[in-house]
Chain A
Amino acid sequence: MFSMQKTGKGTPAAASRKIHSIGGVMRGREIRGTFEADGQKYQFSYAPTSSAVANRRLELTGTFSISPARGRARPPRTGVRATLSSTQGGLGNPPSVRPELLGLTGQTSDAEAADQKDATPGEAKAPAAEAAPATTAGLPVTEATGPTGFVGVLYLRLSPLDGRALGVPLDLSSVQLNARLAPTSDLERDLQWLLSGTVAAVYGERPDERAASGYLGEINRRLKG
């Protein structure tokens, strides 16, 4: 029916086993998801145990495991680094913030309350988020921007993985993990709020090492349980 030519770039089998990018959702302290390759469905999880900033990049370290959807769980790989390449801004319900975390923004509760006067109930200002673009007072604002912005997806580059060691016939040498933050628990909400703050403090227009350090401390406390 079609007339086109297959290219000689790699064998079809190799091409179908090369994993470029996989998507999951943060649940608890883990990012869990599934993907398909070579006609098989696989489940994976990445459980970060610590976070740090290295070379002006957020870096998580944790355990990665993978298994065929209907297969036995294989031994996980520990010490897997996940370096944050980029992010996607969140929309919809922003993460709520616990009062005890407000101190991390370096603002008093009163100042925070004043800054948030334009936010709708339940819409917390993200910590150290980018300042809103210059506006004339009293004008409507755009949803989830500036002080009410937050991170929806983290795009993490995993350190090279050996598929065979993980028990799967896949090329995992350069995997990008797309971690959607869609919190359903207090822990997940805290992590989204803290990660949003970290991203703004490290990747934003006005980097703030002190703030980043505060957020990382809180993230690490939660990752350790």
Chain B
Amino acid sequence: VCVRKQKVYDALIIGSGASGGMAAKELTERGFEVLVLEAGPPVNPARDFSQHTWPYQDMYRGFGPPDWKEQEQWMQDTASHYSRHFYIKDSEHPYTTDPGKPFMWVRARIVGGKTLHWGRLSWRFSDLDFKAASHDGFDVDWPVDYKEIAPYYDRAEEFIGVSGNRDGLAHQPDGNFLPPMNLTCGEQLLKKGSLKTGRPAIVSRVAMLTATKPHMKGRAKCHYCGNCGEGCDVGAMFNSVVSTLPIAEATGRMTLRPNSVVRHIIVDTDTGKAKGVAFVDRVSRQEFEAFGKVVIVAASTLESTRLLLNSKSRQHPNGLGNSSGALGHYLVDHFGGIGASGHFQVLAGRDPVNEDGKASGLFIPRFRNIDEKTKHPRFLRGYGFECGAGTPSFPWMAKGIPGFGSELKKQVRRHYTTPVYMTTRAAMLSRFENFVEIDPDGVVDAWGVPVLKVHIQHSDNEREMAKDAAETSEEILRAAGAEVTSTGGKLTAPGRIIHELGTARMGDDPKKAVLNKFNQVHDVKNVFVTDGAAFVNSANQNPTLTILALTMRACEYMVDEMKRGNL
């Protein structure tokens, strides 16, 4: 066994996705020397990104070999044959559920994590979300308010580049935007239809560049090819690999070690503080330890919580940071699967334009339970609609058009501009009984690390919301003049939207929460959890922008506390 002199980094960062990458950037810029441990392999954009590969260049025309999607559950509607290597294999990374209560856990163990294929929608939360409990009496408020987070939203938007409009909606706050992307003709019609029903619709705010700024070195404007999920090789889409990690690396103070599967956090038995982590090399399976003054857990919501639960010690017998008993609890995911779709026949035969390929659309922000006037009698909180119209590069609607040969091609061309859809992104209530634990039956992953058992179900609040969303989406689509071909649907199983949040929630009371308002573990002052695990509730907006803002804020606090000698 080769033992080198033990080095103590200023910070160990577990994970290199949105939060881990941002923590690396923020801390190295402030002089910290950090070690980033990423469980997955390194990424090489030239080799691993397939944004500009055409279906005919692939042996299976982009569909993959027969039955391959069935072999990994998460591939069903997430990965394409071009992006499958961004994701882990369930067969190596098990998790368990109770009979009849499934959970879909989509994981990307790779440098950059899920930022390589994320949806890019970048919405701020407002006090309707941070102070939701004060608004409707359910659960508790976040320990932060919008005013405290707003400066970090500003900085995050400025850094990653978010295109959007300033729309003046109090509950969907405006930000620091690049110019918005244009709406398609169908989206314009839908916007008008939504307004007719009294619901404003706005251009989606997406972390895709419509202009560049000096700090965005190596990144180019979006050219609307529409294949963002397969790896954006021009860097128009924000991800860790093109933005945060290169900046951290340029400081000379970041060491990035891929293939490092962290088993647990090592605690100093004298002080009870964290002193490092134990990890196994994913490929060689050799065991290592690394040491740091601070440990930042940013492995993604459930991986972070799994790590804390697996970090049991004499001082922390139920897992690190779990003296409250709240660790693992209050798991939420947005739900979708409910909505309406159809066609704008008035647009049939129009020529498509390059901007039709943009991978963004129209958003109808929350319109229920905002104030007394909009209070819904049967459910709390609310939902928004993600909408789009027209066809990106590949005409998926062709599957629904009958015929064959040249007549089929003619019809496909004719309908290129007509499809329209609306799908729900809805809040799920944070409930204690939705939780994760270390599998009590001893199931482990390929490296022998105990896995999670996930217990989560929707309640009638979500089902009532889904019913309302189904009816409302149809109403809006009809008001817009669309021919409606499909309505309703089923709520997506928890996890499918890939917005799993909570399980190590923030809160001022250490008896009820895992983290304080700066993402710092109440029980162990030199451990921070900066990803979605920290969320108190899901709101209905996509979470990544809030994760980035909270990470920036946590890092600033961490540096100050380090200077004061408090860590």
Contacts and interface: CB of A to CB of B under 8 A. Distances in A.
A194 to B, nearest CB: 14
Given A5-B6, A6-B287, A180-B71, A143 B100 contact: no
Contacts of B73: 88, 90-92, 152-153, 180
Interface string B468-490: 00100000000000000000111
A124 interface: no
B255 A2 contact: yes
A149 interface: yes
A76 to B, nearest CB: 21
B100 A15 contact: no
A130 B99 contact: yes
A145 to B, nearest CB: 6
A5 B4 contact: yes
A155 B94 contact: yes
A141 B490 contact: yes
Interface in B429-469: 439, 441-448, 453, 457-460, 463-464, 466-467
B441 A86 contact: yes
Nearest to A143: B490
B491 A89 contact: no
Contacts, number: 218
A129 B100 contact: yes
Interface string B264-305: 000000000000001010001111111100000000000000
B102 interface: yes
Given A140-B338, A143-B492, A9 B441 contact: no
B343 interface: no
Interface string B328-339: 000000010110
A181 B482 CA distance: 41
A130 B443 contact: no
Contacts of B421: none
B89 interface: yes
A35 B446 contact: yes
B96 A88 contact: yes
Nearest to A57: B441
A140 B467 contact: yes
A173 to B, nearest CB: 12
A85 B3 CA distance: 38
B66 to A, nearest CB: 8
Main secondary structure of the interface of B (DSSP, over half): loop
Contacts of A139: 460, 463-464, 466-467
Contacts of A89: 97-103, 493
Contacts of B453: 86
Interface residues of A, number: 67
Given A146-B100, A178-B91, A4 B289 contact: yes
Contact of A90 (B102, B448, B457, B466): B102
Interface in B114-150: none
Nearest to A18: B448
A7 B286 CA distance: 8
A55 B76 CA distance: 35
A142 B492 contact: yes
B355 interface: no
Interface in B1-22: 1-7
B7 A21 contact: no
A33 interface: yes
A196 B399 CA distance: 32
Contact of A12 (B286, B289, B491): B286
Contacts of A4: 4, 7, 35, 257, 288-291
B29 interface: no
B94 A6 contact: no
A204 interface: yes
B285 A126 contact: no
Contacts of A40: none
B5 A91 contact: no
Nearest to B462: A142
A7 B445 CA distance: 20
A16 B284 contact: yes
Contacts of A16: 284-286
B70 A92 contact: yes
B219 interface: no
A88 B457 contact: no
B337 A145 contact: no
Q: Which range holds the interface residue count of chain B? A: 35 or more
B232 to A, nearest CB: 28
B257 to A, nearest CB: 6
Interface in B337-364: 337-338
Contacts of A184: 67, 70
Contacts of A9: 287
Nearest to B2: A6
Contacts of B3: 5-6
Interface hub of B5, B102, B463, B488 (most chain A Cβ within 10 A)? B102
A149 B446 contact: no
B90 A144 contact: no
A91 B489 contact: no
A10 B287 contact: yes
A97 interface: no
B104 interface: yes
B35 A2 contact: yes
A153 to B, nearest CB: 7
A48 interface: no
A8 interface: yes
A158 interface: no
A87 B444 contact: no
A142 B94 contact: no
A176 interface: yes
Given A2-B35, A130-B99, A143-B491, A23 B289 contact: no
B244 to A, nearest CB: 20
A15 to B, nearest CB: 5
B407 interface: no
A42 interface: no
Contact of A155 (B96, B280, B496): B96
B89 A23 contact: yes
Nearest to B37: A4
B518 interface: no
27 contacts: A4-B289, A5-B3, A6-B289, A20-B446, A21-B444, A23-B92, A85-B439, A87-B97, A88-B73, A88-B94, A89-B493, A90-B102, A91-B493, A129-B99, A133-B459, A134-B460, A136-B464, A138-B467, A142-B335, A142-B492, A142-B493, A145-B458, A149-B102, A152-B73, A152-B102, A196-B99, A199-B99
Given A18-B285, A89-B493, A145-B457, 6 more contacts: A10-B287, A135-B460, A140-B491, A141-B490, A141-B491, A176-B94
Among all A-B residue pairs, the 3 with the closest Cβ atoms: A23-B91, A89-B102, A149-B100
Interface of B: 1-7, 35, 67, 70-73, 76, 89-92, 94-104, 255, 257, 278, 280, 284-291, 335, 337-338, 439, 441-448, 453, 457-460, 463-464, 466-467, 470, 488-494, 496
